[in-house]
Chain A
Amino acid sequence: MPSLNDYLLVSGLLFSIGLAGVVLRRNIIIVFMCLELMLSAANLTLVAFSRFNVKNGLPDYDGQMLVFFVITVAAAEVAVGLAIIVALYRARQTIHTDELVSLKG
């Protein structure tokens, strides 16, 4: 049986991979996907804690409620973010982060 540490290790690795992608990639859509990976890593941690913290004979459903809310907010965030990307592409004809420097001081 996998222990709680195994779940934390795997979700930490997933988060690190997502973070590395956000820093390394320049295509803003891929950066966005890596953000989703990081959110999912947090979800895995929450569900693991919920399962390992049994209250009154049942898993602690507060953790799973938080996962539910995170998934919903992430869906809304993706919709708005992709609309912003489309508007950005219309204005600049590029979505590469190193060509979008107009906010640079």
Chain B
Amino acid sequence: MQRNPQLNANGELQHLLSTEGLPREILMQILDTAESFVGVTEREVRKVPLLRGKSVFNLFFESSTRTRTTFEIAAKRLSADVINLNIALSSQSKGESLLDTVANLSAMQADIFVVRHNSAGAPFLIARHVKPHEHVVNAGDGRHAHPTQGLLDLFTIRHYKKDFGKLTVAIVGDILHSRVARSLIHGLTTLGAPEVRVIAPQTLLPAGVEALGVRVFHDMRAGLKDCDVVVMLRLQNERMRGALLPSAQEFNKHYGLTGDKLELARSDAIVMHPGPMNRGVEIDSTVADGPHSVILPQVTFGIAVRMAVMSIVAGN
């Protein structure tokens, strides 16, 4: 059997490429370590010396401000040196291959590559070719995976709900294009959430989504009933090919989270969103800014989770 490409010979996390196939113990190790880092981010000196003298290369083949920034903050709080490369604007456009780009950066003595790429699998390819002391963290590859977002979602859910064992979680909206949804679903099922629902029109669901262990709803009101956690996804206009939807207004009417739809969920339900939000499309402002929303804490926890991931892989 082929070894899980994320784990080393001792079964420890060498690269973080996907939440799929990660054992429960490793997911819990990341969440527990992140919990300790939340403490660090709340004190006067928000920095620890773990990655002092190490270099983190942010390799963004697809543009992103928020994710790149949170990785940068996380790396700096671990005392690493951070080098940001906006590859979309440089070597690739000059025709250099992905592996040549990585080989060049490796020659500049990188320790961690944080990779975002619009092709699914690019971080896996890089992970297969880096030296043993180099580590790859997937910051989003195509429609495939965005494991640190999935992990910060899991962290947020655990923070507010303590235990996954009794939870009903609904993920709503553009599941088809969402690497966030896939990463979260794998994490939730591994950690034992008994009911994970996806709520979307047929055109925004990947074929065979039930095989991931989710219940499918096309009617949002039925799907939200008695949920503990509601995860809204961004309607990804830039990834949309062809007419999957009549219009954003139409989408809002059926799948936008409004205050009255949210009342169908449990009274202590939390509302999450990976950002950036399209207010008035997938989520109304009254909900985004309302008492159930934990969207901004998600961002803060995301830094602690990324600190945990980088410090765990770099130590293995």
**Is the A/B pair a real complex?**
no
